[in-house]
Amino acid sequence: MLLAVDVGNTNISMGLLDGKTVKASFRLTTNLQRTSDEFGFVVKDLLTAASLTPEDIEDVVISSVVPKIMYSLTSCMKKYVHKVPLVVGPDIRTGIKVVTDNPHGVGADRIVNTSYAHYTYGRSCIIVDFGTATTFDYVNAQGEFRYTVISPGLGISAAALSGMTAKLPEIEIKKPESVLGTTTITGMQAGVVYGYIGLVEYIIKQMKKELNDPDCYVIATGGLGRVIAPETDEISEYDPDIAYKGIRILYDMNKEGMHNENI
């Protein structure tokens, strides 16, 4: 069993993979103050919930965009799972060539996503990841990561609307039945969700136009992708488990160099 850990700015997602199958997944908030022991207690509880023990974990792979959390998290894996994790970074094999003005500025999460898309579909893809920010990443059929678009996420948009106004409340992010709001809350939901559908559709269409790639395959992922993906034909597929599956691909490419026998 592989433990795949995806550390984002808002949440840490952990997936347990048996081969290529995601058997269980868990999510906790990204708390920079957690110690390695606190992480360890969480990991042990999650394994118990899945009827597993640390001995069932063959290896651990971590993809992270939060450097400050890595010491505690890697120490946790060594102490409680008895594995030295493989960390997604510039020193591992990915098969993805980053062809941008600043290749080192591309986060591990983006490499994981584009690796999954490239090795799964073997064609040009746009990966739309609905996280704290929403990213639109383009990888061509040759595995070259060339372009990206970054927008404020759905959660950020909703929080800004309530947080920067005197009387607008916090809202649940869901699509109301109509764009014509009849209350303050449904009006805000309409503006945020229908507005975001328009943002997503326009960016994808414009990317395809400027790339001259109208048949580019579009994959959506990320928790809030479930709100937007069903509402537009511009998204070809929604898969919330891309990060875990991409981590599995990178693990298979790099596992020969991992030595955990005596940890």
- What is the pLDDT, as a whole number, of residue 125? 98
Q: What is the CA radius of gyration of the chain?
A: 19
> Which three-class secondary structure state does DSSP give residue 189?
helix
Q: What is the mean pLDDT of residues 3-7?
A: 96
Looking at the predicted structure, is the pLDDT value of residue 260 above 70? no
> Which three-class secondary structure state does DSSP give residue 166?
coil
CATH superfamily label, 97-243: ATPase, nucleotide binding domain (3.30.420.40)
- What is the pLDDT, as a whole number, of residue 149? 96
Q: What is the mean pLDDT of residues 30-43?
A: 92
Looking at the predicted structure, is the pLDDT value of residue 8 above 80? yes
pLDDT in tens, 154-187: 999 999 998 899 889 999 999 999 999 999 999 9
Of 146, 151, 109, which is closest to residue 247 (Cα–Cα)?
Answer: 109
The model's confidence at residue 74, banded by pLDDT at 50, 70 and 90, is: very high
**Average pLDDT of the chain?**
93
In this structure, the number of other CB atoms found within 10 A of the CB of residue 179 comes to: 15
Query: What torsion, rounded to 10 degrees, do the Cα atoms 156, 162, 166, 169 define?
Result: -160
Regarding predicted confidence, which is higher, 248 or 263?
Answer: 248
pLDDT in tens, 179-206: 999 999 999 999 999 999 999 999 999 9
- What is the pLDDT, as a whole number, of residue 263? 60
pLDDT above 70 covers a percentage of the chain that reads 97
- What is the pLDDT, as a whole number, of residue 91? 84
Structure tokens at 204: 């994808």
Annotated catalytic residue 109:
yes
Q: Which CATH number fits domain 2-87: 1.10.1740.10, 3.50.50.60, 3.20.20.20, 3.30.420.40?
A: 3.30.420.40
DSSP secondary structure letters along 5-46? EEE-SSEEEEEEEETTEEEEEEEEE--TT--HHHHHHHHHHH
Looking at the predicted structure, is the pLDDT value of residue 261 above 70? no
Residue span(s) of the chain under CATH 3.30.420.40 come to 2-87, 97-243
Q: What is the mean pLDDT of residues 37-64?
A: 93
Q: Give the bridge partners for 59, in sequence order.
A: 2
Cβ-proximal residues to 186 (8 Å cutoff; 6+ apart), any chain: 176, 178
Strands 86-87 and 59-64: parallel
| Catalytic entry in 6, 59, 109, 241 | 109
Q: What are the helix and strand counts (H, E) for the chain?
A: 8, 11
Q: What is the mean pLDDT of residues 88-114?
A: 91
DSSP E strands, the chain: 2-7, 11-18, 21-29, 59-64, 86-87, 97-98, 125-130, 133-139, 144-152, 217-221, 237-238
In this structure, the number of other CB atoms found within 10 A of the CB of residue 67 comes to: 8
Q: With a threshold of 0.95, does the pTM exceed it?
A: no
